[in-house]
Chain A
Amino acid sequence: MTNESSAPVFFSRALYQSIVDHAHSVHPEECCGLVASDQTGTPVRVIPMTNILHSPVRYQMDPVEQFSVGKSLRLEGMSLWGIYHSHPISEPYPSVVDINLAYYPDVFYLLTSPVTTPPSLRIFQIKDSKVTEFPLILKEVD
């Protein structure tokens, strides 16, 4: 459920567009990827990843890519800020599968669905199977 008292999360429109474009490019498969933040904690980079399941209802990031990107971010002094994926045929809200496999309680989970116009993007945290939604505010300028 949306927690209206949650602090809003600011996100650049350019990053939003990168995620939407990725979702569109692999539709009807689910897309997945990472969002990295700089040393100030500001999300600055979208990193598209390969969904090795190539499925419209499931995703799993390529573990080799995941390892490689994680190492690169560490060496660049960047951090994992968010994990995104798409729901090509359902609303962008964490499914039971998403919740059960949410191993990263301190990052944001971003979900997009290309079925709406404009494509929606919603942002959550998932801790101890509890979903908290945050208001998302898109910024025009980084």
Chain B
Amino acid sequence: MSVLVRIPTPLRPLAGGQSELSEEGQSVKEILDNLISRFPAMRERMMDESGELRRFINIYVNEEDIRFREGVSTPLSSGDEVSIIPAIAGGA
């Protein structure tokens, strides 16, 4: 089953310059695993040392933050859009 994955600008150089691509998977985790398998350099930017999604990486399925669903276990349907969005944060 194929879903559309939107790649944010800062990660595009690690994904062959693509802004969106088609990926196979039944859940967000499968999508991320397949994405990292294709583009291994994305692992460090998206995952922490324990393999968990970095706190400052937000992932949306269609309009919904996966943290308000089932996290990376969130199931996907054909035609879903998965958006990867690095948080914008900082401070003095």
Q: Which 3 A-B pairs have the closest CB atoms?
A: A58-B91, A103-B86, A98-B90
Of B65, B85, B87, the contact of A60 (CB 8 Å cutoff): B87
Interface range for A: 35 or more
User: In the bound complex, how far is the Cα of B91 from the Cα of A90, in angstroms?
Assistant: 10
Closest to B11 in A: A103
User: In the bound complex, how far is the Cα of B63 from the Cα of A95, in angstroms?
Assistant: 32
B92 touching A104, Cβ below 8 Å: no
Interface range for B: 10 to 19
17 residue pairs A–B, Cβ–Cβ below 8 Å: A30-B91, A30-B92, A58-B90, A59-B91, A60-B87, A63-B58, A63-B65, A67-B85, A83-B88, A85-B90, A85-B91, A90-B92, A95-B91, A98-B90, A101-B90, A104-B9, A106-B10
Looking at the assembled complex, report how far the CB atom of A132 sits from the nearest CB atom of chain B, in whole angstroms: 16
- Count contacts between A and B, CB distance < 8 Å: 75
Binding site for B on A (CB under 8 A): 30, 32, 34, 49, 53, 55-61, 63-64, 66-67, 70, 80, 83, 85, 87-90, 94-95, 97-98, 101-107
B91 touching A61, Cβ below 8 Å: no
User: In the bound complex, how far is the Cα of B90 from the Cα of A107, in angstroms?
Assistant: 15
